[in-house]
Every structure is written in C-alpha cells, then in structure tokens.
Amino acid sequence: MEILVYRSSERKITEGVPVEQLPELLQDQSAVIWVDMESPTEADEQVLLDVFNFHPLTVEDCRENRHYPKVEEFPGYIYFIVHGVTSDTSPDRFNTIELDGFLGSNYVITYHHASFRSIHNVRQLLRTSPIACQRGPAFLLHQILDQVVDYYSPVLDDFDDRIDQLEHEIFTLKQPNNAILAQIMDLKRSVLRLRRISTKQMDILLRMSRGEFDLIPDEMRPFYRDVYDHLVRVVDLSESYRDLISGSLEAYLSVVSNRMNEIMKVLTIFSAIMLPLTFIAGVYGMNFDNMPELRSRYGYYGTLGVMFVVAVGMLIFFWRRGWLGRGDRETPEG
C-alpha cells in the first residue's frame, strides 16, 4: 500500500504516509488522499473495512477478479471497476486487467492485483506537478481513467496491423492452412472481448459525465466526457474490426474453396481422359476369337496409337474450352 497526500497549505505531494495517519487525514477536507493498493494483502483489505468503512460486498468484489466494469454509489463514496490492457497484450491474445477503486469527498483509492502503467504514470506526474490533486479527487480519478483508456490506442493499432497481415496471408495462400483459421478465430474472440469490455466502460463514463453522482462536480464533467469520447472511438473501431475479421473468415473459406475447385477440376480432367482409354483397353481385353485386329501383327501398336490420339484430342478440346487455365480466352462478340 502506498499513500500520497496533498495538502493545500503545503502545496506539495507527500509520499510514504503511514497508515496510522489515515483516520486523521480523512477528517481534513482540504487534503486530497490517494491510496494505491498494488497486490494488496489482508491487512490492506482490513483498512478498507475498518478505516474507510466500506461495504463488505465491495471489498469482496475487490478481492475477486473477472468482474465486468461497473459503478455503484454508496453513502459517502463511489465504487467502480474498470479494465486496462496488459503491457504484453497482442491482438491474438488480447487480455485485460481489472482495476477496482473508490472515490470519496477527499480521497481516491485504487485497488489492483497486477501492475498498472497508468497508475505509475499518474504517480510520476504528481511528483512533477501536483495540479491533478489541486483540482480535487474527482480530477485525480479522471487522470487515472484517462491514462487507462489511452493505453487502448496502441492495442487498436496492433489490431489494424494484424488484420492487414492476416488478409495478405489469406490471399497469398497456396493450400489450406489450419493455423490461419485458428488465428482468425483467436483474433475474432479478442475483438469481441475488446468490444464487450469497452462498451461497458463507456456506460460507466457516461454515467459519471452526465451528473449522476454528486461526488463529481459540474466543472469536472467535461473531463469525464472527454474520456467517454475516447471510449466511443474504441467501441466504433472494435465494431469495424469485427466486420473486417468476419470478412477475412469468408475470404479464407472462399480461397480454400477455390483451391479445392482447382484440384477437383484437374482430377476430373484426368478422369475424363482415362475414361475412353479404359473403355478401349477393356474392349480389346475381352478374349473373343472373332474380334477385329485381334490377330493383327500391329494391333497392339495401333490400339496404343488410338488411345494416344484420343487423349491428345481431349486435351486440345479442354484447352479450347478454357478448362485448362484459358478461362480468360477472348470469345467472339455477338
């Protein structure tokens, strides 16, 4: 647990404040307190219950992971859950990390089991300038949420690049490849997860920006609307990516079908050529005494010659019809 305190009388950020001072600091409405709990312990959770008097169900929600984004109002504070993206996220393995938090009249609490780049960035920003705390806890929370949402942009760029790469692989495909199909399905699941999470977070920012909560002053609402606009862009792009991936899947199936048709065409042509040759061989393979050319000295060679002429004739016929790769042959007009 790390505690940062800004006092308007001192105009600076104090870090490393001991937990024992929290009850006294909470009574000072001129102070802005930020309690960051990374990889919290049972003792940290007990602080939430005993010092801040949060509802046990909210603390239980903090302890558990895999909750959808949400925001709830309780007497004297707001509890929220948002999701950020992991630093090693790739489009095929898109994943999120949960950030729980509380907003009070003079404090912000962030609770997370994994490291958050956005949390570290805001902390570093406060070390440089305490402006975020000077404007109150609602603005400090806005800074955190804004950083969380901003890290979605590189993920969207990665999705765009991965879809372009996938389309190139599909249209240069020489034979069916189950690995490409698996990549398409993984990418589709990732986009659906991105859209589902960002849509629910968009609803949270909408509620925060339209004056539903008294702890977010009117002058802070435009800042939350700005974060909401960023999430709208994320949702719109994820929707378009879903359509592009669906189109990629259809293109893959179409390419595989065309390749299969080419193979079947070649096999059909060979079968069609062998059919009359098999007929000729079958007729002259019958053991009848009165068959023409059966006793002829050159009957064998003559039969082979007929079979060769039939095969070549059929190849020429197929070629003229465009069945052997001359599908683009010019045809007479009219």
pTM score: 0.74
Our measurement of the distance from residue 169's CA atom to the centroid of its chain's CA atoms, rounded to an integer in Å, reads 19
Residue 234 lies in a domain: yes
Domain that holds residue 330: 287-334
CATH number, residue 245: 3.30.460.20
Report residue 176: phi and psi, to 5°.
-55, 135
From 81-90, 92-101, 231-240, 245-254, the region with the lowest mean pLDDT: 81-90
pLDDT tens digits, 208-243: 988 888 899 988 999 999 999 989 998 888 888 888
> Which residues lie closer than 8 Å to 71 by C-beta, 6 or more apart?
78, 79, 80, 81, 204, 207, 208, 213
Together in a domain, 140 and 249: yes
Together in a domain, 25 and 148: yes
Together in a domain, 27 and 99: yes
CA distances from 293 to 16, 162, 302, 323 (A): 109, 69, 9, 35
The chain-wide mean pLDDT, for the chain, equals 83
Taking phi over 0 as left and psi of -120 to 50 as alpha, with beta for the rest, 66 belongs to: left
Together in a domain, 132 and 251: yes
Residue 275 lies in a domain: no
Asked if the model's pLDDT at residue 103 lies above 90, the reply is yes
Together in a domain, 295 and 235: no
Together in a domain, 6 and 121: yes
Residue 28's Cβ-count burial label (10 Å; 0-12, 13-18, 19+) is middle
Asked if the model's pLDDT at residue 283 lies above 90, the reply is no
Residue 266 lies in a domain: no
Of 212, 236, 255, the position where a domain reaches its end is: 255
Residue carrying the six token digits 């000072």: 28
Residue 281 lies in a domain: no
Residue 262 lies in a domain: no
Together in a domain, 243 and 291: no
Q: H or E stretch including 52?
A: none
> Which residues lie closer than 8 Å to 256 by C-beta, 6 or more apart?
173, 176
Together in a domain, 152 and 193: yes
Domain count, the chain: 2
Residue 198 lies in a domain: yes
Of 233, 255, 277, the position where a domain reaches its end is: 255
Strands of the 70-74 sheet, one edge to the other:
12-15, 2-7, 31-38, 107-112, 96-104, 77-85, 70-74
Residue 301 lies in a domain: yes
